[in-house]
Structure 1
Amino acid sequence: MERPDLAEYAARSSASRGRRYAEPFKDHRPAFERDRDRIIHCAAFRRLEYKTQVFVNHEGDYYRTRLTHSLEVAQIARGIARQMRLNEDLVEALALAHDLGHTPFGHTGEEVLNRLMAGHGGFEHNRQSLRIVEVLEERYPGFSGLNLSWETREGIIKHSSLGGISPDDPARDYAPGLCPTLEAQLIDLADEIAYNNHDIDDGLKSGYIRLADLDTVELWQETWAAVREKFPGADESRLIYQTISHLIGNLMRDLVETSTQAIAAAGIETLEDVRSHGRNLIGFSRALGEKNRLLKKFLRKKLYNHYKVERMRLKTEKFLTFLFQTYLAHPQLLPWEQQEKCEVFGRERAVCDYVAGMTDRYALDEYRRLTEPYARV
């Protein structure tokens, strides 16, 4: 059963638009809880364990991966949803699914595949996440995909701005002119809270960011000062951890308060009011939003554009471009099941799906198998 005190404007499993395919279920879980469970057990979710967040998997066991990042997003998103009386099952399903379509090697992989797929529909990780849960997962008799609820699929494709919708775009099936549920709206910001703060942690641990560098970041300095006052005898490493923890809490609190006020001010009473409002209702206050923007700017300059990250980015561009172009020119190198998919989806899209689904480690191993004479094939 879903929690009985959901807000009137929260999404409810009982009011879902349903699934694409009728199924005989073995139990009576709410629809969004079932979606969450199917996502956790799918192959694409497990592969996130070895996909890059910022640091490639072989660079160290400490750093976040797409899997641990997704778990952190889910924890933050559920905390926000609980305070706002939104549907935690839908929120958790969307948080765990939001990066299913990411490539190996992070955003670099996405940029490479989008460039290589120019003229063939391009590549964008939200659309790939939807493609995974609708087409590529093969677990159930009678249909492809996970057969998730309409609201979960809508939240996946509306995770961030859709941009233009072409006539053959799968997003056309998900009410592109309407706002998504509040549960879907909060995922993008829970994602931002998670990656901003764990990227600080990973950046400091790696040495790419120094603690002194953060002196220029107002949001960090305010929180650091408050934590030092609260724990005057704590060592530096504990202060760093507590500052990140408090910063996450402060961002969540601001988001809940600001969003609750926006919902009340807009006179939102039902889910239909949310959908027809014309703009998202979940967001930070103007003051904290600006401070958070400056934190993101700092991370872009100091961490994401660090020369060592750039060196790895150039190498991964080479790996993925080689793999894509080699498979495209010589599809007989693909495993049998992937060769069959070339007949179904077209060679370019089938090769794109295959490369996008690789983990960092598998892509590097495959590159060695195809280039090194003495590598076992």
Structure 2
Amino acid sequence: MRSNQLYLKTAILLSVATLCTTALARDYRPPGTLGEGSQLHRFVLRDPATGHPLPEARYRLFLPGQRIAGIIPKSDEQDSVIFGVTDKQGNTVSVRLPKRYLKDKWILNPIVGEGDFGEAFSMRGETSNHPMAGLAYVLDLKDGFLFCNRTDSRGYTYYAQSYKAQTISLDYAFGSMEPAQYAWCKRQSATIAALPASAGPAAVFRQMLASYEAGKDELGADFQARVRRKLIDLAIAGRDNRQLDIALGLAPLAKESLNEVGYALVDANWMVGRGMAMIDEALAQTPDNPFILDSKGWALFRLGQPEQALGYMEQSLAAFGEGTEADLGARVEGLVHKGEVLWQLDRQDEARAAFAMATHLSPDDENLLRTLARLQVEMP
């Protein structure tokens, strides 16, 4: 099971999405005037981190629920979404409408990445629901780029694009993020985003490693560790022993990362023994940690020992108890793991009970839904 810190982030703010919002074929419009009406709306695209205009930069612009003459919305939506490229002063297209709308009603996102799939995050306070402006974040496209910036005045991130439906994570605890770090992120993400659609994790690993080695002096210690973890994930995705050794050899693995990396190996069902050794080392340090107990159980299950696995998973769930809202994602994952082990042991009624509890806690959990589909479990 992933670390407490990762689940805590998920509970505070939405931190994982799937890049599955397709648009009509990308037609990046040059500056000009679109629409019809007496009210002209003008915009300048700015870098949220610096406030400077972004010349010759790609963007997404729309007014929620509004149709714009000449811009056809998707079949199931009302928004006329404009994709364009700014001029040398950062100006976007201008939009004519019959009525005047305040600028804070429009959504204007700079774009990172290539492809017809995309998503942006809106960062809001958990209790206040107010936009969280100026918050440093990192967008992590699975098997793709890392990109860092700050949220804009309305709490929005960049609009991240991909060639295919893909998972993207949002991390937001990386300190001040100095200008040199932003510059490194932009260079790295632009280079990787420009790789051909056929480029796999191994190619992304090589490019990111080269960027890391050339520019690591520009990065703070926390972000260096973040890049190294990304390299480990890429090596696992590509199932490349040599790349994994390189990534792990860049710096000693922090003790708080042992369970996280070990679980990643186990969950990928690749080099499970190596992952188990990391988990055992983490468990020796904190034997009552429910996250690590679940990882141990999942590793034993992967190694064909479901009875022993179930014992560790029961300990993990008991350690959580009713838990808090911050533990919700972890409890759901633990119940899904327990359900799968019980299903393999042909204890189907007990498995369905575990899956039912997970469904009650989080009915839209992606891991839960994937597991039910893969095992062909029919729930009442």
* TM-score between both structures, scaled by the size of structure 2: 0.24
**Higher RCO, 1 or 2 (CA under 8 Å, sep at least 6)?**
1
Which structure features the higher share of helix residues?
Answer: 1
Which structure features the higher share of strand residues?
Answer: 2
